[in-house]
Amino acid sequence: MNSNNELVSIVVPIYNAEIYLSDCLKSIASQTYEHLEVILINDGSTDSSANIARSFCKKDTRFKLITQVNSGVAAARDRGLRVVQGKYVIHCDSDDLMAERAIEYLYKSITDNGSDIAVGAYTEQCSLGDQFITHYTCDKYEFIRNILTGKYHSSLCNKLIRTELCRDISFDKSINYMEDKLFLSKVLKKDCVKISIINENVYYYRLVASSYTNNISSDSISSSIEVTDKVCNIFQDIYSNEFIAHIKNKNKVMVLLNSQKTQRNIFPESTKYLLEDKNIPLKHKLVILSDLLHMSYPIKLYKFLNSTKSKKAI
């Protein structure tokens, strides 16, 4: 790949990632697309992550390290975004890997199609094996629907975005779970955004138990509710009340199945659409109705059966 193409920026938020960080940064350094700047944001790590990052900066001048007091992944992403100089930007999580030709494929998709965002396929890696995730070509509004329903991942790590689209948008620093979904929604809401889809693998998404994404803490549950509310507000003038209610009711199910919280005070306006929603399974409708009727046993039983099924699969 000719290195005299437009500059692409890669933002890598880092927090106590010493186990995975070296492999992550090697995957970035070995990109076939060479005209890169790599912004490493050390978010107050207490392990050897900073030393690993410094070693890459010494070996490769494209790598730049910024250290800040621990402020969360959203603040780290935002700090990186404020200093990038590339025409296009992508994020990479410090416990994941970029495929060798990721930037090459994504950049080519943008230039060939005149798009603002290129979206690539990715591989989910977990103890049960790898799963290759692809997308199909669709217009912007169909793409957004798939993001909102969870059919497409809202991660920024498989999406190369024209930097200009991000300049007037900030990450909400109080949100460290689903922060990427909220940011991406703000980008996609802009007029005339064109998306191109490729089905070459660009990313290896490691399902690490300690990561923000896979650690469903009480704070994560609260963030999911806040993000769902904000995202629905962003798109409420585009999609029907029934569809917006569907997104909110899906969040209610997530809350009930991953915490001890009730959903009775969460999005009460969406409950009236629940029974007629053909896209929410009956078992999940029963979970919500059980909570509305203050019946905790059916919810506990559902969680227990799901847990038993997961153990058998392992």
pLDDT in tens, the chain (314 residues): 444 589 999 999 999 999 999 999 999 999 999 999 999 999 999 999 999 999 999 999 999 999 999 999 999 999 999 999 999 999 999 999 999 999 999 999 999 999 999 999 999 998 788 999 999 877 899 999 999 999 999 999 999 999 999 999 999 999 999 999 999 999 999 998 999 999 999 999 998 654 444 446 889 999 999 999 999 999 999 999 999 999 999 999 999 999 999 999 999 999 999 999 999 999 999 999 999 999 999 999 998 888 765 444 33
- Kindly report the number of other CB atoms within 10 A of residue 127's CB atom: 7
Indicate the residue among 206, 232, 255 that finishes a domain.
Answer: 206
| Contact criterion met (CB below 8 Å) for 291 and 264 | yes
| Contact criterion met (CB below 8 Å) for 128 and 313 | yes
Q: Which domain holds residue 259?
A: 240-313
Return the structure tokens found at 287: 């979970």
33 and 136 within one domain = yes
Stated pTM of the model: 0.92
185 and 40 within one domain = yes
Asked, for residue 81, whether it belongs to a domain, the answer is: yes
Helices (H) and strands (E) in the chain, counts: 10, 9
23 and 167 within one domain = yes
DSSP 8-state symbol, 271? G
Indicate the residue among 206, 223, 256 that finishes a domain.
Answer: 206
154 and 20 within one domain = yes
136 and 274 within one domain = no
Asked, for residue 232, whether it belongs to a domain, the answer is: no
